[in-house]
Amino acid sequence: MTRSTPPHLTTLILLTALSVLTLNMFLPSLSRIAADFQADYALVSLSIGGYLAVSGVVQLVIGPLSDLYGRRPVMFWSMAVFVLASLGCFLAPSVEIFLAFRMLQSTGIAGMVLSRAVVRDMYPQAESARVLGVIGMAMALAPLLGPVLGGVLDQIFGWRAVFVFFVLAGAAMAALVWADMGETNATRGARFTDQFRAYPDLFREGLFWAWCGSLVFSVGGFYAFLGGAPKVGEDLFGLTPAWLGLGMGSISAGFMLGNYLGGRMTPRIGLARVMLSGRVMAMFGPVLGMALFATGFASPWTLFGPVMFVGFGNGLTLPGANAGVMSVAPHLAGSASGLSGALTVAGGAVLTAAAGWVVGLSLPAEALFGVILTTTLLAFICTLVATRIEAARSQKA
């Protein structure tokens, strides 16, 4: 397993993209999966909320493991388990077995968590934010195209074809890790338990929690959208899986543009201003959506169009927030990435469930936009606090 050459940026992009695809590629197929297994939609939706919850626990383990044993072996074995889990989902004869293997698929989250840690291993904080922005811009194509591809595969071959794709993609990623991903962790811990004992060092840092809040609530708006938009689009407008996938990719289109512009704007106006501008843009999206629906402009365009501003704002904010959370204690970059990621998906699981509940109200679209607005407002507050703490520390230094 020994290899010392750092991985190419393309490898990190593809690993991160697979993690995102695992979450959203089969979203347009949820109704059909429920019908095939003759199960309630709410039960099948655990393949999203339950997956997020389990992947949060997985990240708590994967981060410290990579700090202890290295990024390369943990990434490789995570991909191997992902392949087996995807095969289990494809062959599942019942909804219970399907959900069990779907939870096991959560090992694929290593692609996102450890890619961030690898970047922090290789670059200082400011440069990490830039590189993470490049990765974010490129991998944004995954959630943009993923639901579309998943919807098309479902309509042509059935929903199980999506999991055939996961089997093949996971195997390809495992081979790529073996061939290209050299070890970047030069400061490994002594024992696994020591990594967990180091968590209180992060817990005591107010800056860590401020950056975590920025991540949790920024991404929370995205998860709320994923949890509620499919049902709103299908119930209100009768959208097919392929059209649902296309519409749900709108938030990722905005994210990709935000990453691109953020990288160009940061050297000119500074990282803090870019991130706060992103939070303002993200709040504008749900406000616009609520206003359009309240004044009678109800259509797929007014459902999916405003969330492009949420994606755009996240593209401006998330690279800096990810770099910030791992820079609080650089020797614990893997643990910080895992812990912040766990908190993010835990928040995502709650917001996915909340969005699924509110779309059952009398004004489902307006209620969904209300959830997204609340999360984006909280993200603005956390980002403001984090940037002010860092500015104060820079002045003292």
What pLDDT score was predicted for residue 92?
Answer: 93
What pLDDT score was predicted for residue 144?
Answer: 66
Which CATH number goes with the domain that contains 126?
1.20.1250.20
pTM of the entire predicted model: 0.72
Model confidence at 150: pLDDT above 90:
no
Q: Percent of the chain at pLDDT above 70?
A: 91
Q: How many domains does the chain have?
A: 1
Q: Is residue 3 part of a domain?
A: no
Cβ neighbour number for residue 5 with a 10 Å cutoff: 10
Q: Is residue 33 part of a domain?
A: yes
What are 276's two structure tokens?
A: 């706060």
The DSSP letter of residue 38 is T
Q: Please name the residue ranges forming H helices in 28-140.
A: 30-37, 41-44, 46-69, 71-91, 95-104, 110-122, 125-139
Q: Which residue range forms the structural domain that includes residue 304? A: 9-180+188-396
Whole-angstrom Cα distance, residue 118 to residue 128? Answer: 10
Q: Is residue 320 part of a domain?
A: yes
The most confident of 76-80, 266-270, 295-299, 333-337, by mean pLDDT:
76-80
pLDDT tens-digit readout, 219-265? 888 888 877 887 788 888 888 766 877 787 778 788 888 888 887 78
Q: Is residue 135 part of a domain?
A: yes
pLDDT tens-digit readout, 75-97? 999 999 999 999 999 999 999 99
Q: Is residue 144 part of a domain?
A: yes
pLDDT tier, 107 (very low <50, low <70, confident <90, very high otherwise): very high
Q: Is residue 2 part of a domain?
A: no
Q: What is the mean pLDDT of the chain?
A: 83
